[in-house]
Structures are given as C-alpha cells and as structure tokens.
Amino acid sequence: MKSAPVRRQMLTVMILVLAVGARPAVSAPEKGAAALAQSQSAFPFPVVEKTLANGLRIFVVPYDSPGLVAYYSVVRTGSRNEVEPGKSGFAHFFEHMMFRGTERYSSEKYNDVIKAMGADSNAFTSDDLTVYHILAGKQALPQIVEIEADRFQNLKYKEAEFQKEARAVLGEYNKSASNPLQKMAESLYDNAFQVHTYKHTTIGFLKDIEEMPNQFGYSLQFFDRYYRPDNVVLLVVGDVQAPEVFSQVERHYGEWKKGPARPAVPAEPPQSKEKRVALGWKGATLPILLMAYHAPAFQPKNVDVPALEVLAELLFSERAPLYKRLVLKEQKVESIEGSFDRHVDPNLFSIYARIKKPEDLTTVEAAVQQELTRVAKEGVDAKTLAEVSSHARYGFAGRLNTADNVALVGAEFIGLTGRLSSIDEYFAAFGKVTSADVQRVARTYFTPKNRTVVTLKAGSP
C-alpha cells in the first residue's frame, strides 16, 4: 500500500508525503503525447457517467488498451477530513485496514483472488482523498466489482487486528523519521496552519499515532462516516463497455446505504505575520531551507492556480535564472525546487533548497525572495510564458499513455472536484494565463506576512 498524493510536483514528493513515494508517472511515446497535446481537449477520451440511487457515481472511460481495465475506487476523504482533535492519521490508517478482509473474502482469500486474476492491486492516501486501484484483464471485471463492493460495504476486523495495524502505522512513521524532511514538513504545516486540518501531514501527528491502538471504537465510526456510496466515486478505464460496467456495479453496490452527516472542515484564517522555525538534526545532513506561502484552493476556472504553476516553472526549473545562479554559477546550492500542488482547500506554494554550507542559508533565502520580488515587479515576457504553458500541456498529455495512468490522473480531479470535466475547465484557464496574471499572483501571495520558513542544519539550530 502506498501512502502518497496522486500528484506531487517536483521535490514535494519527498517533502510532503512522509510515507512511501508517490506512483511515478510514465512518459508517453513522443508521437502519442504530441497528438494529445495538440487536441482541443486536455482529456480527449469519451466519458460515460451514471449515478445510482444511493449516490454512488460511476465514470466509465473507454480507452484503447486491448484486454486491460483499470478499476479505481476514489474515496473523497483524506487527512483533510480528520477534524476531531487527537484523531489524525485515520484516512491513511484505513488504507491499511481495507486489506483486512470481510466475512466472505478474508485477507488471504482476497489476495488469492487478486493473484489468480493476475492483477495489480494497491492503494494510496493524500491530504484530500484515498484511492484503491486494480489493474487487470478485462475478463476479470465482474469479479473485481464483486470483491471491491464487498470490502467497501462489509469490512470487518477485530480489536486485536486493529491494534496490530495501528502499531504497523507507528512503525511506518518511525521508519520515515530517519529523513530530516519529515521533521521539516511536520514543522512547516504545524506552524503555517492554525485551525485547518492541513496542519497535520497525511500520516498524522506522532502523539495521535501512538494513541491510535486505543481508538478501536473511533475507527468503526470513521469507516461508517466516510466509506459510504455518496462519498465514493468509481472510475473504470480501459477495454470496457459502459452498460456492462453499470450493470455489474448496480448489482453489487446498489444496496449500499448512504452515510450520516459528515463534519465540516474548518477554514484557515489569513496569516498575519511571518513564521520562522530553526531545527537541528543529530545526524549528518546538508543544511536545508523550506519556504512556503499560503496559496488558493483548486478551482478549475480560477486563473490564479495555473498562474502559480507557471511561476513554479519560471522560477525554479533548470532553465530559470535563479537555478543557474545558485546551482551552476555560485554553486551554493545542491538542488532547488519550487511547486504549487492542487488541493481542495487553500494550501501552500513550497520552495525547497538543499544548501552546501550552513553559512549560506541566509544568502540563499534572500536570493529566492529577491527573485520572487523581481517577478512581482516585472512579470514575464510573452514568449517565455507561451513556452511554459505549452510545456505544461505537453507534460500533462504525456501522462495519459495507459489506461492505468488515465485513471490515476482522473482520480486526482475527481478527488478535487468530483468531476472529470474539471480537467478541461482547468486547462482552458491555463491557456488564459497572461504575464499580468503571473505578476499579480506573485505580488499577492509572495509577501513576508504570508510566509512560513523552516531551516534545518546538523547539530543545534
């Protein structure tokens, strides 16, 4: 099982996931990617949708993958939804528990079925969603629907099994704790957020994970609340026919009951002043700078979102002046990355720099801020903007090269908006980004009072 967001740009895969790495994107053949990139639609595949009476939605995407089908169950619940104090980490925990079995299909029997059909079955968790996915031959589709419907409706586990898995999550946390980036990310989010649940990382606060074995009763409540048809979306991509899928799903999921009301996620107030944290590390490490600025939630038609993604490319790619200065010319920095990831609620634009000498921490931070300020004043020329926009569209198209990757991309947007149509809406907004937009978002979001800075170096802070 993989605990990672569907999409983490650049080095935020390392910085923010904190558990196991994200699923890698696979590059498409050049001609196929080029054809998709030139398409009028960013997601140029037929989509057939149906909603059952119980609220379960199904998206079927016929895709040219002879004999193969990707079956994704998207639970629109991630660590963002862990609103009760002391209960962080349960979305990720259930990624584990969902493989514990039911009365009809024990964990061993479920695994035997998966092996017999020659399938690949796994899962991942992020801030905003949890996804369970199977890739198999099309002839296995009826059995896939049966076993997935069974575990989503009839998951059963005893308290001893619950406690064993909770201790396994603690072991996963402790294993990741050997990476200084875990400590930095925890500190960054804990300080940048005051009331919103993005305050804790996906795996949860350590004190909550340590207490988790005593939360058997709450685990049943969490499952009852979020694993319901009106909070789950099925996405089936590949060599399939929609009527067949709908018939199978109706048969096995049709009696699943809607869930109770779910608590609201608290809104984060604007940050009023800069926050800074200096950390030490007992082991050997190069000094690290982690800067972040509060940024908007994903809304497919909000041009600020793609404008910030453009900024990440303009400022921190290998072609960027800042990279050439700090990494190549002055050689003060081993690596530097910047990214803005899409989230359901306002999150962070993050900047990461691994620096060669502790005395250069301040200099590098100042250089980054100077470049942000420069773009806020000057914007970007039209030619560079067009190149970055084209590169982004080509890169996105390059991800859509298999049924499994199409489902992976689709799952992200379903988690964000509940709709596959939001993909085309977003890329339409991306195409409207102007130099004035880039300049405006730099001026709006990259201000000192909106900034949280975490530094780490070997020894004492």
The closest of 368, 193, 395 to 290, measured between CA atoms, is 368
CB neighbourhood size of 187 (10 A): 19
What would the 3-class secondary structure string for 367-435 be? HHHHHHHHHHHHCCCHHHHHHHHHHHHHHHHHHCCCHHHHHHHHHHHHHHHCCCCHHHHHHHHHCCCCH
Helices (H), 89-239: 90-97, 107-116, 141-154, 159-176, 180-192, 206-211, 216-226
Q: Which tens digit of pLDDT belongs to each residue from 120-137?
A: 999 999 999 999 999 999
Question: Which residue from 411, 404, 408, 409 is spatially nearest to 68, judged by alpha carbons?
Answer: 404
Q: Give the model confidence (pLDDT) of 204-253 as tens digits.
A: 999 999 999 999 999 999 999 999 999 999 999 999 999 999 999 999 99
Dihedral-angle region of residue 433 (phi above 0 means left; psi in -120 to 50 means alpha; beta otherwise): beta
Q: Would the pLDDT of 71 be above 90? A: yes
Residue 382 has pLDDT above 90, yes or no: no
Mean pLDDT of 351-373: 96
**φ/ψ of residue 335, rounded to 5:** -155, 150
Query: How far is 69 from 117, CA to CA, in rounded Å?
Result: 12
Q: Which pLDDT score, from 0 to 100, does residue 38 have?
A: 54
Q: Which CATH architecture has domain 12-24+38-253?
A: 2-Layer Sandwich (3.30)
What are residue 57's DSSP bridge partners? 51, 233
Give the pLDDT of residue 389: 81
Please say whether the beta carbons of 424 and 42 come within 8 A. Answer: yes
Three-state secondary-structure class, residue 352: strand
What's the confidence (pLDDT) of residue 430? 84
Residue 3: the pLDDT is 39
Q: What is the pLDDT of residue 23?
A: 37
* Per-residue pLDDT, 383: 87
**For the CA atoms of the chain, what is the radius of gyration?**
22
Cα(269)–Cα(461) distance, integer angstroms:
29
pLDDT tens profile 5-54:
333 333 333 333 333 233 333 333 444 445 555 556 789 999 999 999 99
Three-state DSSP at 351 gives strand
Can 12-24+38-253 and 275-458 be said to share one CATH topology? Answer: yes
Please state, in angstroms and rounded to a whole number, the distance separating the CA atoms of residues 127 and 80: 5
Backbone dihedral region for residue 67 (phi beyond 0: left; psi -120 to 50: alpha; all else: beta): left
CA distances from 119 to 59, 111, 182 (A): 21, 10, 33
Q: Each residue of 137-193: pLDDT tens digit? A: 999 999 999 999 999 999 999 999 999 999 999 999 999 988 999 999 999 999 999
2 vs 264 pLDDT, higher one: 264
What is the model's pLDDT at position 39?
A: 57
Q: How far apart are CA 213 and CA 166, in angstroms?
A: 5
- Per the CB < 8 A criterion, the answer to whether 249 and 52 are in contact is yes
Domain ranges of the chain: 12-24+38-253, 275-458
Q: Convert the pLDDT of each residue in 304-347 to its tens digit.
A: 999 999 999 999 999 899 999 999 999 999 999 999 999 999 99
The pLDDT assigned to 6 comes to 32
Structure tokens at 15: 């910085």
The answer to whether 288 and 456 have CB atoms below 8 angstroms apart is: yes
Question: Quick one: pLDDT at residue 367?
Answer: 97
Q: In percent, how much of the chain has pLDDT > 90?
A: 82
Asked whether the predicted pLDDT for residue 449 surpasses 90, the reply is yes
Q: Identify the CATH homologous superfamily for domain 275-458.
A: Metalloenzyme, LuxS/M16 peptidase-like (3.30.830.10)
Two tokens at 268?
Answer: 């984060």
Coil, helix or strand for 447? coil
Give the H or E element holding residue 80: none
CB 455 within 8 Å of CB 287: yes
- Angle at 215 (CA atoms; ends 209, 216), nearest 5 degrees: 125
By CB atoms closer than 10 A (0-12, 13-18, 19+), residue 48 is middle
What distance in Å separates the CA atoms of residue 375 and residue 388, rounded to the nearest whole number? 15
